[in-house]
Amino acid sequence: MKINKKTIFNIAIILFVLSFFVTPMGHYGKVLLNRIFASSPPVIEESKREKITDYDWKLKDAEWNFFNFEKSKGNVIFINLWASWRLPSEAELASIQEMYDKYKGKMDFYIITNENRPPVEEFMAKTGFTFPVTYLIIGEKIPINPDEVPASYLIDKSGNIVIYKRKIADWSTTKVYDLLDKLIAE
C-alpha cells in the first residue's frame, strides 16, 4: 500500500497537535502562546479609580517571616496574585520579572501566592525568576480578592488602583514603563 504526501502531512499535523497534550514541548508551547497573546493592561480612568484604604494586612516573605503591608503606604505598589501550577501565571511572570529587574528599589513588589514554600521554591529554581515571593496568610484580611489568579494591581502613592487586570497581561511594555516612571516621579 502506497501512502501519499497528503496522508503523511495529515499524520504529522495530528502528531504535532498531540504533542501539545502529552509532551513537555506542549507545556512550553502553551506558555509561549499565552505570552504572545498577552496584551498591555488597561489603565483605569482617574475618575473611576478605587482607593486602597486599609493597608493593615499581614503577609509572609520568602523566609516565612510575617510583615505588615502598611510598610508600603505612600509607595507605588505592584501586586500580582499567582500560582505556580497555573499556566497563565507562569506565562505572565516572565514580563513581571523584566519589570521587577527595571524597577526594583523604586517601587514595592508583592508577587503573592497562597501555596506552600516547597512547590514555589522548586518553581522559582526551575524558571530562574528572582523577584521576591510573598505568601498570603489564609484567613487574614486582605483588601483585594485573593481568589482571582492570576490578577494584578498597580497602586499609586495615594492608594489609588491605577491598573487592575484579571488574567494574563504583558507588564514589560513601553506603555506600562511610561506610566510607572510618571507614578514614581509624583
| C-beta contacts of 170-173 below 8 A and 24+ residues apart | 170/35, 170/38, 170/39, 170/40, 170/41, 170/92, 170/95, 171/41, 171/78, 171/92, 171/95, 171/96, 171/98, 171/99, 172/94, 172/95, 172/96, 172/98, 172/99, 173/40, 173/95
> What does the domain layout of the chain look like in residue ranges?
5-34, 41-185
Identify which has the larger pLDDT, 78 or 40: 78
Q: Select from 3.40.800.10, 2.170.130.10, 3.40.30.10, 3.40.50.2020 the CATH code of 41-185.
A: 3.40.30.10
- The tens digit of pLDDT for each residue in 125-137 reads 999 999 999 998 8
Q: pLDDT band at 33, cuts 50/70/90? A: low
* Residues paired with residue 132 on neighbouring β-strands, in sequence order: none
pTM of the model: 0.82
Q: Are 88 and 168 in contact (CB under 8 A)?
A: yes
pLDDT at 19 over 90: no
- 85 confidence band (pLDDT: 50, 70, 90): confident
Predicted pLDDT at 32: 67
Grid coordinates given for 26: 506542549
